[in-house]
Amino acid sequence: MQEKLKQAIISDGPNTRYFQSRLHELAFYYSQLCEYQTNIYDTHLQFRPIHQKDISRARDLRKLHLALFHESKSEELAEMGIDAKEVTQNIKTAFAQLTLGKLG
């Protein structure tokens, strides 16, 4: 199940063509979630209602998203114009909002 979810996260979506890459798209969605505190991009990020109720599933999903922007990839991401630290912080904030503060 984890592999299927990972593929869903990294696979191009209907809006990916408007971005330089899927990572740029994900970074944008997370910046918007944190700035406007909206859930409009939940489906694009694979957030489901179960993630609000089941903290362990939310934690697993958060790990998958954080792995994409891990600090070991920060140099490569910086070359792409993505600030890995900012995105990582946005991911943590988004999951804290998703789980009503249970994941911080």
Helices 55-68 and 2-10: crossing angle, nearest 10°?
50
Name the pTM for this structure: 0.90
Element (H, E) at 30: helix 22-36
- Write the CA distances from 62 to 18, 19, 55, 80, 98, integer angstroms: 24, 22, 10, 22, 11
pLDDT truncated to tens, each residue of the chain (104 aa)? 788 988 999 999 999 999 999 999 999 999 999 888 888 888 899 999 999 999 999 999 999 999 999 989 989 999 999 999 999 999 999 999 999 888 87
Sequence ranges of the domains in the chain:
2-98
